[in-house]
Structure 1
Amino acid sequence: MIAQPEPKSKRWILKPFPDAPAQRSAIEELTRSLGVNPFLASLLVQRGVHTFDEARTFFRPEITHLHDPFLMKDMDKAVERLQFAMIRQEKILVYGDYDVDGTTSVALFYGFLKQIYPNIDYYIPDRYKEGYGISKQGIQWASENGFTLIVSLDCGIKSIDRVTEASQLGIDFIICDHHRPGAELPPAVAVLDPKRNDCSYPFKELTGCGVGFKLLHAFCVFREFPLDDLYAYLDLVVVSIASDIVPINGENRVLAYYGLKQLNSSPRPGLKALIRIAAISRELDINSVVFGLGPRINAAGRIEHAKAAVQLLLAQNDIEADNFALKINEHNKSRQGFDKDITDQALAMILGDEMLLSAKSTVLFNQGWHKGVIGIVASRCIERFHRPTIILTKSNEEKAAGSARSVPGFDVYEAIEECADLLEQFGGHTFAAGLTLTIDNIPAFQKKFEEVVAGRIREEQLTPMIEIDLPLDFAAIDRKFYNIVRQMSPFGPHNLQPVFMTEDVYLAGPPMLMKEKHIRINVRQGRSGHVMTAVGFNLSGWHEPLVQCLRHGQPFSICYQVEENNYNGNSTLQLHLKDIKCSQ
């Protein structure tokens, strides 16, 4: 038998129980009006649901719950300019970023307008030749080809110089972005971004694709087009929401709810082909989009050019879609190969260096690593060592480009900003950032970044955290309980799938290893009571400690999610283990 690694300690953070008088009253009211147990009512109150009407809205989102698009600053200007361009038969260019949000945005906006207006094209910048955002090459191409209006999606909010250059060439801009603006806005005809300080739009967390959708929403209202024609594109919007890891509450919850319905009932040919090639046989949820569809769409821009992703998403029939999907899947296989090889090399570098092993941060450089996957590799390193990580590779002759990722609670952007004197440029946000520096400066940057992180990071931030919603009794877990929890989906940031904790648990039989990596146990709460089956993926390190618990009759604690297990036509409820704590 392969020796199993020792289980790693994780922090269990129990969310505050809704115990204020108003919250207790709401729990009692929801228990009565919904006919649910107090555990479920408490879960709802934790998530801001206090009344029967709020519960109805939460469980049954309506498309009519979407906000009036004209509440967004500059929306009237954007619609007027778009309409004016069509009246004058101007050439319109749809310009989008090369990631999932950008490519779905372009497919949505171009695909919808192309049905009613032929004088339109799209442009995706090359990740390696042009970089992120509005590029000089893109503006030049638009000018040379006679475009007089550019609609940018998922980029442009900080492209002041590029938009100014375009204006001087007679090209107007409508910017649809969701990133935080700088102190100055670009001189565009309209800047649609709910994060503008002067924008009173009620929901601030739309994706770039979501902002593009709202512009089309407003345009349809203005032109009195049937909105059902636009809602048919919600399968693209939910792919952007899932892949961009934005909060799935408010308007995003409505868009994701109906987007998943579209994705599961009648997805466009390109997405249907991706679902087939990813071998997703069960109903799609946010997770299956994040891990099954998103990486494949992203791989086009990481390995070759993201235009292939847009071509796939715009495919008109299954044959065309299958051809593009096969090509993109090959890109994804290449990406996976680069990802695995570079991750193995990066982990070996850390494990082979005592200073790196004991450090509070990780900064690694290899000039041969593929630039398209270094962000993914940084995330993989954090999975293993749980600390702020930057992976660098050679960008051009004397420069290195890097991707940074962080751990919950630590602002990696601020830490990088402290090292600005050693950098050529940098940008990003709290948990992810990009940077460029000269290769000669890498040793000094490694040293300074480590000093900054070591001086700021708290010890507990270096330990993985599991947030637990509620303690739960096994007696509360039945089919009705599971069905109601499932209806709380779509799950994602700000509406995560509930995690429960049960203490004083005993084994009802020997723990079983599965494929040397996973465990399966039968457990009961207390020394008597109902037995539940629990499965822990990649938790094989707990096998021996659990054997000892069984041998000595010791209780332990588990945290888990409740899920359905379908096997050979039989459906049972089981616990999906997140972590275990043995009693001392």
Structure 2
Amino acid sequence: MSEPLFGVRQSLGGRSWRLKAADDNAIQAICRATGVSDALGRLMAARGLTAEDAPAFLAPKLRDSFPDPSTLKGMDEAARRIWDALDAGDRIALFADYDVDGATSAAQLGGWLRTLGADPIIYVPDRIEEGYGPNAPALKSLKEQGARLVITLDCGAASVGPLTAAHEMGLPVVVIDHHLMDGEIPPADALVNPNQPGDVSGCGHLAAAGVTFVLLAALNREGRRRGAFKGQAEPNVLDFADLAALGTICDVVSLTGVNRAIVAQGLKVMSAWSRPGMAALAAAAGVQGPASPYHAGFLLGPRINAGGRVGQSDLGARLMMTQDPKEAAHIAQTLDALNAERRAIETEVLDQAQAQVEALKLEDDTPILIASGEHWHPGVIGIVAGRIKERFNRPAIVIGVDPETGLGKGSGRSCTGVNLGAAVAAAREEGLLVAGGGHAMACGLTVDVNRIGELTDYLTARLKQEWIAAEEARTYSVDAVISPSAVSFEFCEALSAAEPYGMGNPEPRFAFSSLRRTYAQRVGTDHVRFTFESPGGGRLTGISFRSADQPMGQALLNGPDGLWHVAGKLRAEDNRYGRKAELHLEDLAKAD
């Protein structure tokens, strides 16, 4: 392990700073091959890219990375089964998950079906009353409504019981999913999941929205084989790229390979704002100009999710499918109001959960934080767990307890190097949980309220060594060291060639050495605006979000004078006040 950057071993965020390594020869080769700046060349080299990789990275194209649909196990069978239903005039029902990935998957397939004159039933389960995935009563209801084929989207791959019930009632099911699978395979007419056993497509990083996007290509190909498009236009798969991109960004999958191309192309389609639902939601969220991953992930996505968290679960899918601008505006306004309600609920739960954690005596080797409370809304506990993880930089589980049943519903978020899903699965096997599972970075669970203490002790003991070994989780990685005078709108614009950013291609972080704080003021509820200056007179302005009452915000507002090392991400703005760039602060360390 290299020496800490600027000697920072323990920042105010509790992390050691490291500068990402980049070979000078690789940087120069990338710059020569592409003509990019040294800063962008360094960024790419530090991410393992070569001069040969660089052109495709800078200009991702679907034609270069889009998979042959037939390489996904079950895809051809799924396309044939869906076309059989269309040819027979059978009513199709889409059973989608209640998050953005599910909503955009339903909108893609539903929109494709509507171009062919079909009118699919859209069903999205209630998060609280029904929970995740298909359930037998809902499937029975769909059959009674006339459905002769059900297609599950972003769910179904682990639903052995409900799909067995569907089989027994004579209701065919096609599964389109991407979640990890273990144990028994559910009965289905076709099962498409790049993460299922036996799939060798190499597409396991696709979100459900990405799998659905590939399904549309398979359906077009099967339609051509059947001669179905004689006399009518073939649906244009690229028309649905905006939905595929939105689902991909919001499901936080790796933006590499075909995902990077889906998002790059999809943002171009989205930027036209021609889809009524997308345009109405953008207007409600105050989005202006071309679409970006930030708009998708932090402004549009949370509003779609709000319907599933605290409102009506099918609003997002309906919004993305409607062609009626008036209906779109009404749904978008409803989701915007629900999102405001969700934020208020989240703030209340976060304050209580954070107070519990702050009351604990945390040690450096404490591997997990668990907070619980009665009546904490199950629609926000996952968000709050993520906030706790970010604030204290270690895995966290937040549990909302129903005092009537004595059961707690929990959601967890982890750090790199700590497999939270495996630990929760082990706790379930030990009999500490009613239900539980997940993957390395996230989990869900149900626990008897009287066993939360036992669960905490078990997970603490099981995860302690993983946490001690998880050096990366306690490290703040910096892409480049620059001076305040280098920060400009033009500098950020040059770096934007590396977008879209996300999992697998994170937004670059920059560090600044030995700056003096010259201004700090609390703004909004709990944000802090600041200005730093370098010895040479360069000024760095920016903001620290949700930090005013935390150590970093207090250091800005009331901390000692002297020099500080500063780190974060740059943001460029182009508005009526002109063009500028500022720092969104992420970490701070005393320099003297």
- Taking structure 1 as the reference length, the TM-score comes to 0.88
> 1:81-100 alignment to 2 at 5 Å?
81-100=81-100
Aligned to 2:442: 432
Aligned to 2:201: 201
CA offsets 1:195-223 (integer angstroms, 9 cap, x no match): 23422224321111111111111111232
- What SS class does the counterpart of residue 332 from structure 1 fall into? helix
- What SS class does the counterpart of residue 561 from structure 2 fall into? helix
Pick closer, same or farther for the CA change 1:398–1:326 going to 2, 3 Å.
same
- Check the 8 A contact 1:511/1:521 in 2, yes or no: yes
- What SS class does the counterpart of residue 381 from structure 1 fall into? helix
- Check the 8 A contact 1:14/1:470 in 2, yes or no: no
Deviation at 1:350, TM superposition (A): 3.5
Deviates more, 1:306-315 or 1:240-249: 306-315
> 1:15-94 alignment to 2 at 5 Å?
16-19=20-23, 24-51=24-51, 54-65=53-64, 66-94=66-94
For 1:239 and 1:390, how far apart are their aligned partners in 2? 27
For 2:365 and 2:27, how far apart are their aligned partners in 1? 47
- Check the 8 A contact 1:412/1:433 in 2, yes or no: yes
Deviation at 1:275, TM superposition (A): 1.1
Deviates more, 1:180-189 or 1:459-468: 459-468
Aligned to 2:566: 558
> 1:92-241 alignment to 2 at 5 Å?
92-118=92-118, 120-224=120-224, 229-241=236-248
Deviation at 1:419, TM superposition (A): 2.5
Pick closer, same or farther for the CA change 1:228–1:44 going to 2, 3 Å.
farther
> 1:150-549 alignment to 2 at 5 Å?
150-224=150-224, 229-352=236-359, 360-395=367-402, 397-420=405-428, 421-454=431-464, 456-458=466-468, 465-472=475-482, 481-503=491-513, 505-507=514-516, 510-513=518-521, 515=523, 517-524=527-534, 527-528=535-536, 531-537=538-544, 538=547, 539-543=552-556, 548-549=561-562
Letter in 1 for 2:219: F
Pick closer, same or farther for the CA change 1:461–1:510 going to 2, 3 Å.
same
Letter in 2 for 1:416: V
Deviation at 1:40, TM superposition (A): 2.5
CA offsets 1:83-112 (integer angstroms, 9 cap, x no match): 111111122111111111111111111122
For 2:234 and 2:87, how far apart are their aligned partners in 1? 21
Pick closer, same or farther for the CA change 1:462–1:389 going to 2, 3 Å.
farther
For 1:478 and 1:462, how far apart are their aligned partners in 2? 30
Pick closer, same or farther for the CA change 1:128–1:122 going to 2, 3 Å.
same
For 1:565 and 1:80, how far apart are their aligned partners in 2? 49
Pick closer, same or farther for the CA change 1:287–1:352 going to 2, 3 Å.
same
Unaligned runs of 5+ in 1: 1-5
For 1:246 and 1:501, how far apart are their aligned partners in 2? 27
Deviation at 1:486, TM superposition (A): 0.6
Deviates more, 1:267-276 or 1:58-67: 58-67
CA offsets 1:57-87 (integer angstroms, 9 cap, x no match): 2222223222222221222111111111111
Letter in 2 for 1:67: P
Deviates more, 1:440-449 or 1:327-336: 440-449
Seq. identity, %? 27
- Check the 8 A contact 1:510/1:547 in 2, yes or no: no
Pick closer, same or farther for the CA change 1:453–1:29 going to 2, 3 Å.
closer
Deviation at 1:255, TM superposition (A): 0.8
For 1:229 and 1:416, how far apart are their aligned partners in 2? 43
Please provide the CA RMSD for this pair: 2.9
For 1:92 and 1:306, how far apart are their aligned partners in 2? 20
Letter in 2 for 1:58: F
CA offsets 1:383-435 (integer angstroms, 9 cap, x no match): 33333322222356242221122233222223323422111111211121111
- Check the 8 A contact 1:407/1:461 in 2, yes or no: no
- What SS class does the counterpart of residue 440 from structure 2 fall into? coil
Pick closer, same or farther for the CA change 1:169–1:485 going to 2, 3 Å.
same
Pick closer, same or farther for the CA change 1:403–1:479 going to 2, 3 Å.
closer
CA offsets 1:232-271 (integer angstroms, 9 cap, x no match): 1222112111111111111111111111112221241112
- What SS class does the counterpart of residue 419 from structure 1 fall into? helix
Pick closer, same or farther for the CA change 1:215–1:370 going to 2, 3 Å.
same
The total of aligned residue pairs comes to 564
For 1:333 and 1:573, how far apart are their aligned partners in 2? 28
Deviates more, 1:511-520 or 1:403-412: 511-520
Aligned to 1:11: 15
Pick closer, same or farther for the CA change 1:380–1:250 going to 2, 3 Å.
same
For 2:338 and 2:284, how far apart are their aligned partners in 1? 13
Pick closer, same or farther for the CA change 1:17–1:545 going to 2, 3 Å.
farther
Deviation at 1:575, TM superposition (A): 4.1
For 2:583 and 2:361, how far apart are their aligned partners in 1? 39
For 1:121 and 1:568, how far apart are their aligned partners in 2? 46
Unaligned runs of 5+ in 2: 1-9
